[in-house]
Amino acid sequence: MPTSSWIITGPQHLDIDALARLRVQLVHGAVEITGRAEPGVHVEIVEVVGAPLEVTKEGDRVSVGYPSLGWDGWLKRLTSLRTPDRAVVRIAVGPGVEVTAATVAATITVRDVAEDVVAVSAAGATLAERTRGSVNAKTASGPVVVRDHVGPASVITVSGAVDLAGDLPRVTVTTVSGAVTLAPAAPSSVVSVTTVSSATAISLPAGTGIDLTVRAIAGSVRVDGVERRTASGPSTTTLAEPGAAGTSFVRIATVNGPVTVTLGGSAVPGGAAGEHGPTA
């Protein structure tokens, strides 16, 4: 398989032919990836400090990162954030390009990309905006924001805040203490949130029904301002309320994180929620 590579030590522009996959690995700095109508990829290296970057084209894949680390070697840097290696990169990708970005503390921004996006960072912020396909993000402490997305979204984090909005048919969030804010515009979404102490706030569009199950040891469960959790200790709170536009299935497991659900600004009639006692 033919391979082309460029060693980058300072600001530079590269235009590369059509491809199907882009992957970027940085330590500090920022990467911004934007979709465009033209095929191929345009790479703009804005800044390089410390180790040089390498841009490699192998088959239908383009990689931007550090040759001394290898694609998997950047994980070793997660325990050493003092390295001076820093780069700022802007990349424009054509249609049909899947994106993977992995950083230690560099920010990740993806806009107007219509294929799957994978973003992994220890402490860098992640933003996906006006994207299509699936978004999968993993972070330790960096916040994750997804706006105007169409497709499923999955986030795994320790303490980074999570804010997801768009036409999200399926949402999965796993966190320890990062606050979770979800606004799925799809009338029939499947939402799963697992937390320890995170506050979870979910806003569903008007006319959407809800099938809600919250398993918790402590913490409130409020739906349109009404407290639905009445038992103390380990318990399960449920609410089933149909809607004309469809029903969203929401499953939340938490230790003591408060849960707030808003149903299009309209109150849910009382009596539909129930406590089913301690859970195993």
The whole-angstrom separation of Cα 227 and Cα 221 is 6
Q: What is the pLDDT of residues 214-249, one digit of tens each?
A: 999 999 999 999 999 887 889 899 999 888 888 999
Quick one: tokens of 42?
Answer: 């345009």
Note the pTM of the prediction, 2 decimals: 0.89
Q: Supply the pLDDT for residue 62.
A: 93
Phi, psi of 183 (to 5 degrees): -140, 75
Most confident of 58-67, 150-159, 260-269: 150-159
Q: What is the pLDDT of residues 14-41, one digit of tens each?
A: 999 878 999 999 989 999 999 999 999 9
Buried b (16+ CB within 10 A) or exposed e, 161-196: bbbbbbebbbbbbbbbbbbbbbbbbbbebbbebbbe
Buried b (16+ CB within 10 A) or exposed e, 67-103: eebeeeebeebeeeeeeebbbbbbbbbbeebbbbbbb
The whole-angstrom separation of Cα 17 and Cα 78 is 33
Q: What is the pLDDT of residues 95-131, one digit of tens each?
A: 999 999 999 899 999 999 999 999 999 999 999 999 9
Q: Supply the pLDDT for residue 270.
A: 32
Q: What is the pLDDT of residues 256-278, one digit of tens each?
A: 999 999 987 433 333 333 333 33
- CB atoms near residue 14 (< 10 Å): 17
Q: Supply the pLDDT for residue 141.
A: 94
Average pLDDT over residues 71-87: 63
Cβ burial of 151 (10 Å; 0-12, 13-18, 19+) is: buried
